Amino acid sequence: MVIDSPESGFSKVPKSHFWMRAKNNLFKNQKFHRIIGKIPILSGVAKREGEDIFALMSGFVSTQVLFVWIQTGALQKLDRKPYTAVMLSSFWGFDLERTEILCRAGEAIGLVKENKGSYRLTRKGAVIIGLPGVVDLIEHHKILYRDLLNPLDFFRGVEETHLSKFWPYVFSGGMDLSPNEVEQYSNLMSESQYMVAADTLNSVNIPPTCRFLDVGGGKGTFVGELSKIYPKVDAAVFDLPGSHSENAAHTCIIGSFKEDELPKGYDVISLVRILYDHRDKTIESLLAKAHRALGSGGRLIVSEPMLGPDRPSISGDVYFAIYTLAMRTGKTRSPNQVSDLIKAAGFVDIKIHKSRRPFITTVIEARKS
């Protein structure tokens, strides 16, 4: 343990720190790398570490290559039939040299595969264009990338972010937003909700004849998937005006969880991708409202991407944590942090489900005593 006192300017350094420094100094030494490069097992380790470092350096370039293949519709074209580089050059309107570079880059990141002069869609490419919401999210990322163009200013918090303008509902109760603003949010969330719904419903067991309220459920994608598995469940969505689908099969209740109490009489309340959009005070209020709305024995389900439970993860601690930071009021939390907030609201029997795909969602259940 490091004991650091700003007043005294003295730090007590543990013995493990000296070993860590010695190890790091060794790995910074070029002569050491030349030596291990000649040892079979160690040379493989060094190569993999070098490749990982280069992957970090080239990451943004790869995302932009992906963006071109998606935004131009080229991946969708290859889903129907193979295209040669000449055909893709004509389709894109790029010269042949640039097209060939883009094609090889697409193959390098696993989107396409060249075979006998033609490019075909890979399994990864098919997944990207096949799973609902993935293409929309990739195209949406250009907003986040603009916010990260000057990362030092971003982390200093000195600039207004583009994402905070894209999600204006997070700065207000939402009832003052235009239906078009709410619909923009609901459309993106709806398209990307199917995978979250699948993993959430795979983790929990819902009473087959209960009354179910999805708070902030937008167009009702989640309750629609719920109804396919539990057709007798009486499902409702509580959300802002403009978020609901006009032809919804479920009950639509207009309201703002920031300004209004949640409707009572429901056995289960779900908060799917809601908490990480907001800071702690908003979440504490919402969880308290959910506790008041539920009767004795009522259940709460929270489902959203979270920070790595044991150690930082790429999905939670790099992507979602920085994305929600760019929203200005968002905050990605660990499963334990979410559980603590749920417990503070009065819930008991809190269970963190083992996540099958943490980059999609982590599910937490609780009960009102």
Q: How confident is the model at residue 2 (pLDDT cuts 50, 70, 90)?
A: very low
Q: How confident is the model at residue 44 (pLDDT cuts 50, 70, 90)?
A: low
If you average pLDDT over every residue of the chain, what do you get? 85
Contacts of residue 109, defined as CB under 8 A and 6 or more positions apart, other chains included, come to: 62, 65, 66
Q: In what order do the strands lie in the sheet with 299-304?
A: 251-254, 234-239, 211-215, 268-272, 299-304, 362-367, 348-352
Contacts of residue 3, defined as CB under 8 A and 6 or more positions apart, other chains included, come to: 11, 12
Q: Which of 236, 304, 239, 315 lies closest to 274 in space, CA to CA?
A: 304
List, in sequence order, every residue forming a beta bridge with 238; answer none if it has no partner: 215, 253
Fold of 151-367: Rossmann fold (3.40.50)
The residue with greater pLDDT, 219 or 291, is 291
Are 134 and 128 in contact by the 8 Å Cβ rule? The answer is yes
Q: Is the pLDDT of residue 28 over 60?
A: no
The residue with greater pLDDT, 188 or 202, is 202
What global pTM score does this model have?
Answer: 0.81
pLDDT, tens digit (0-9, with 9 covering 90-100), for 59-103: 899 999 999 999 999 999 999 999 999 999 999 999 999 999 999
Contacts of residue 158, defined as CB under 8 A and 6 or more positions apart, other chains included, come to: none
pLDDT, tens digit (0-9, with 9 covering 90-100), for 259-306: 999 999 999 999 999 999 999 999 999 999 999 999 999 999 999 999
pLDDT at 52: 75
Rounded CA-CA distance 54/267 in Å is 51
Fold of 34-129: Arc Repressor Mutant, subunit A (1.10.10)
Rounded CA-CA distance 319/307 in Å is 10
Rounded CA-CA distance 330/362 in Å is 17
Q: How confident is the model at residue 29 (pLDDT cuts 50, 70, 90)?
A: low
Q: Is the pLDDT of residue 53 over 80?
A: no
- Structure token digits, residue 331: 């905050």
Residue spans of beta strands (DSSP E) within 246-294:
251-254, 268-272
pLDDT at 3: 45
pLDDT at 268: 98
Residues in the chain: 369
Q: For the chain, what are the domain ranges?
A: 34-129, 151-367
Rounded CA-CA distance 110/75 in Å is 12
Neighbours of 54 (CB within 10 A): 10
Q: Is the pLDDT of residue 191 over 90?
A: no
**Range name among 211-215, 283-287, 324-328 with the lowest pLDDT average:** 324-328
- Structure token digits, residue 63: 């995302």
